[in-house]
Structure 1
C-alpha cells in the first residue's frame, strides 16, 4: 500500500555505524537523514519534520542523554519518538534516566537488524497514523466550524424571516393558528388574539370559547368547513364574522390546510386568519356610492326633463334662456354637493352661487347663521332661489341700480325661515296670474320639502317668506322618490 514517506534521523559519531543503520533500515522505504553529532542533529530537527530519532548514547561533546534533554525542551519535539543505541550494558538507573529524557526504547549492540527494523517501523507507522489523525481532526474541526457558521447564519436568517413575518402579520392584520386534531390542543399567535380582541392571559383557546366569539349566523358554516376535513378535503377558505367581547363585529377570511399521516388520517390543521373589515366597509361604501350616483343621476335627469318640458316662453330665445338658467342652477348645486361627497350644502354657499352671474355691487345684504342642508333640500331650494333671483333681475329690485335686496334666515326647532325682501326697484303690481317660476317654487317648497312659501307683492318691492323643515324625512330619502314627486308637482303647477 502506497503511503507518504516519513523522515528517520540517524545520529552517531561513527560513520561505519551510520552506514550499517542505513543498510538495515533501507528496506522500510522511508527517508533516512544522517547526523554525525548532537549539534548536527539539532540543526536537522530545526529544518526537517522528523518521525523517529535513532541516537547513539555515547558521543563526544553531546551524548545521547544530553541531546534527548535538549530535544525535549523544544515544544515542537516533545512527542518525537527517540530510540537509544548503547554499545555498553546500561544499568537500570541509566535506562530510567533515558526514559526520563524522552527515550521510548533501547537497542543494544550488536544490533539485530530485524529487531531494529521492527521497532523503527512501529514508531514510523505510529507517527504516520498520528499525523493522519491530526489531519482528520483538523478537517473535522473545519467542517464543524463551517457547519456551526452555517447553522448560525441559518438561525439568523430564520430569526429575520420570523421578524419579517411578524411585521407582515401585524401590518396586514393577520393571525395564524394551529390545531392538533388528535389531542385537541390549539395554538394561536399574537395576531390571532389581536384579531379576536382577546389576550393570551385572559382567554383560553378551546372550541367552546372560540365559538362564543363567532357570529351566530356563521357558526354552522364553519362547522361544515371542519366536517369537510373528515371527508378528504385538504384545504378550505371562507369568510366569516366575529363578535369581539366589546361588541364590535369584524369581518375575516380564514384559510386552513390539513396535515395527514401515512393512512391519510388528519392529524393537524393549520391556518391563517386575515381581518378584512376595512375592505368590507370599503365595498359597502362603494356599493352605496354606486346606488347614490345612480339615484342622483336619475334625479338630475328627471329635474332637467321637467324643466325642459314645463318651461313656457313666447319666443325661442326666451325659452332657451329660461331653460339654460334653471339647468345651470341645478348644475351649480350639483357641484357644491359633489365637493362635499353629497353630505350636504351650506345655505350661504347656494346663495353666493346664484349671485355669481350678477354684478350687483352693494345692492344685496345677506344675514344669517351657517345652515347645512341635506342634498335633496339643497337641490330644491337652489331652484327656488334661482326663480327668485331671475324674477328680481327681470322685473324687481335687481333690475335697476337703485334697487336693494335683503336676504335673511334663521333656524328654530329645525325649521329654516328665509325672508326675501326687495326695495327701491320699479313699482310692483300684484301679478294677475302666477308664472311658471312662481308655481314651480310653490310646488317644490310646499309639496317636495313639506314647507310653506308666502308672497307679498308690495308696491315698494316683493316680500317672500320661505319656511323649510331641515329634518323632514322625505328630504333625506332616496332621490328616486324625489323625481316622481317633482315632475308631478311641476306638471300640476304648470297646468
Structure 2
C-alpha cells in the first residue's frame, strides 16, 4: 500500500440519515466510505474486504455494537482493526469498559462534532496505512533477508566445496598449508601439514619450539635463515628441508612462505605451503645410484673385454678371432642372465646350462646341483672360467669326440661354491709340461678374481677340475672388478713364453 492509496472506512448504523451525515462529515478525508445498515451486512463486507476503521453505532437491532465488536474480534484478520463506537445515550464507565474489552479504541458521543470525528478517523486511517506500509516493508525486508541468506548459504556451500576440493588436491599432491601470526605467535595448520609432519592434530601443539624439534638437526639453520630474511623485509622464501617424524621416518619437503607486512614494513603474518618430495628425492637417489652402477658395470665390462682381447692368442688370425668371439659371447650370455634378474645376481645352473647348451642335445653332458645364487661379479668371472673349460674340452678333451662324456656337479659347502668338472671317454690325457692359456685363465679368474681355488687333475681317462668359490662376499666385487685386467696380466706369463692350450 502506497502513502496515497485510499483505505476502506466502514460506517455501521441502522439509521440511513446518520449514515448520510457521517459520509458528509468524512468526505473531506478522501477515503473509501462504505456503509452497512446492520451488523450482519457489516460482517458480510468484512469477510470480503480489508477495512482500516469501523465506525459503529452502539444501539442497533439484532446485533448491537458490543456484540458486533465481539464477533469481529474473533476473526484473526480483524483482531487489530480500529473500532470507534458512537452512542446517542449517555454511557456509563462500565459500558465504556465493556466497549474497550470488546476492542473499541474510542467513543464518540452524539451530537457528533464533525471536526473531532474527522480527526479521530484520520488518525486511525493513517495508522492503518502506515502499518500496512510497514508490513509491506517488513515483508520486502524478509524477502531480501531470505534471498541474501540463500545467497550466503550458496556461497558458503561453494566455499565449503572449494575448500574440500582444495583439501583433496592438497592431500593428493602431498601438500600442507599453514599460517603464522608473527605478532601474536598463533599458528594454523591444515590436515595436510599435520600429515606431512606425522603428528596428531588433537595432541600436537604447534609452536616454534615443537616445530623445530621435528626438523632434521642439519636443516634447523634454514628455519633460522628464513626468519632472519623476513626480519630484513624479504617477503618470500623457499627452501628444502627434512622432517624427522615421531615414528623415526625421514620426510623430504620443500617449503614456500610469503610474508605480509604492515605500513611500516614490519612482518605481521607469514603463510606458506609445504610439499612432501620424499618420493622425488628417493627417485633422484635411485637415478644417481643407477648412473653410478651403469658407469661401474660399463668400466668392468670394458676391463674384461680389454683383458680378453689383450691376452687371447691364436695360431692364426681366424683362430684368434674365434677365441675372442667365444669369450665375448660367454660374457654376453652371462650379461643376459644378469639383466633378466635386474642385475641382482645369476643362478649357477643357468650359467652352466648356457655354456653347455651346444652339447646338451646329445647325452654327452650331464649337470646337476643345488640352486645357488651368485653375485653379479662372481657370475661374470665364473662364466669366463666355465667358457675356458668348455673350449679346452671341445678342442682337446671329452667334448672333442662323440664317445666323450662330461659331468658337472656343484653344491654349497659352508658358503663356498664347490663345483666338480669331470671328463671321461675322450682322447687320452697327459699332464702338460706347462700350463696353457685356458688353464691359466681359469686359475686367474677363480683365484685372483674371486679369491677361490682351482685344482686340476690330469687323469688319463679325462680331466677333473674342482673350483671352490666364496659365496658370502669374502672378496668385495666393487673392490676387485676394475682390477680384472691387471690381475690377469699378473697371473699370465709374457706372450713369448705362452704354450698351447692344455
Contact 1:303 1:486 (8 Å CA) reproduced: no
Compute the displacement of 1:319 (Å): 4.8
Corresponding residue for residue 270 of structure 1: 271
Equivalent runs, 1:385-424 vs 2, <5 Å: 385-424=386-425
State the partner residue of 1:26.
Answer: 27
Gaps of 5+ in 2: 497-502
Asked if the contact 2:25–2:114 (Cα under 8 Å) also holds between the matched residues in 1, the reply is yes
Query: Match of 2:350?
Result: 349
Work out the CA distance in 2 between the residues paired with 1:33 and 1:353: 121
What do residues 72-112 of structure 1 show as CA deviations (whole Å, max 9, x unaligned)? 12112111112223344434333333222222222334433
Q: Deviations over 1:449-473 (max 9, x none)?
A: 2333222232222211222233456
Structure 1 residue 231: Cα displacement = 0.5
Q: How does 1:324-335 map to 2 (within 5 A)?
A: 324-335=325-336
Farther-moved stretch of structure 1 (359-368 vs 77-86):
359-368
Q: Where does structure 1 lack aligned partners over 5 or more consecutive residues?
A: none
Counterparts of 2:490 and 2:35 in 1: how far apart (Å)? 132
Q: Within 5 Å, which residues of 2 pair with 1:136-155?
A: 136-153=137-154
Residue aligning to 2:339? 338
Change (3 A) 1:482 1:171: farther
1:481, CA displacement in angstroms? 1.7
Offset at residue 228 of structure 1 (A): 0.5
1:236 aligned residue: 237
Distance 2:456 2:106 in 1: 140
Q: CA deviation at 1:232?
A: 0.5
Looking at structure 2, the residues matched to 464 and 158 of structure 1 have their Cα atoms a distance apart, in angstroms, of 81
2:132 match: secondary structure: helix
Q: Structure 1 residues 63, 221: CA separation in 2 closer, same or farther (over 3 Å shift)?
A: closer
The more displaced of 258-267 and 13-22 is 13-22
CA shift for structure 1 position 238? 0.8
What is residue 108 of structure 1 aligned with on the other side?
Answer: 109
Taking a change above 3 Å as real, the CA distance of residues 489 and 123 of structure 1, as seen in their structure-2 partners, is farther
Which residue of structure 1 aligns with residue 223 of structure 2?
222
What TM-score, normalized to structure 1?
A: 0.86
**What SS is found at the alignment partner of 2:59?**
coil
Post-superposition Cα deviations, 1:336-388, rounded to whole Å, max 9, x if no partner, equal: 22232222222222222333444435443333333222211111111222222
Q: How does 1:189-268 map to 2 (within 5 A)?
A: 192=193, 195-196=196-197, 206-244=207-245, 248-268=249-269
Note if contact 1:377-1:475 (Cα within 8 Å) is conserved in structure 2: no
Relative to 1, partners in 2 of residues 1:195 and 1:21: Cα closer, same or farther, differing over 3 Å? same
- Which whole-Å CA distance do the structure 2 matches of 1:9 and 1:322 have between them? 131
Number of corresponding residues: 495
How far the C-alpha of 1:69 sits from its partner, in A, is: 1.9
Residue 22 (structure 1) shift: 3.2
Offset of 1:65 from its aligned partner?
2.5
Q: Name 1:281's counterpart in structure 2.
A: 282
Given the superposition, is the C-alpha separation of residues 333 and 5 from structure 1 closer, same or farther in structure 2, using an over 3 Å criterion?
farther
Task: Report the counterpart of residue 55 of structure 2 in structure 1.
Answer: 54
Q: Quote the residue 1:64 is aligned against.
A: 65
Q: Note the alpha carbon deviations across 1:187-212, whole angstroms, 9 max, x for none.
A: 55665555455567876655455444
Change (3 A) 1:378 1:92: same
Give the Å deviation of 1:227.
0.5
Once the 2 structures are TM-superposed, how far is the Cα of residue 158 of structure 1 from its aligned partner? 5.2
- Counterpart secondary structure, 2:219: helix
Give the alignment's Cα RMSD to 1 decimal: 3.4
- Whole-Å separation in 2 of the counterparts to 1:193 and 1:212: 14
Q: Secondary structure at the match of 1:117?
A: helix
1:121 matched to 2:140: no
Aligned partner of residue 233 in structure 1, secondary structure: coil
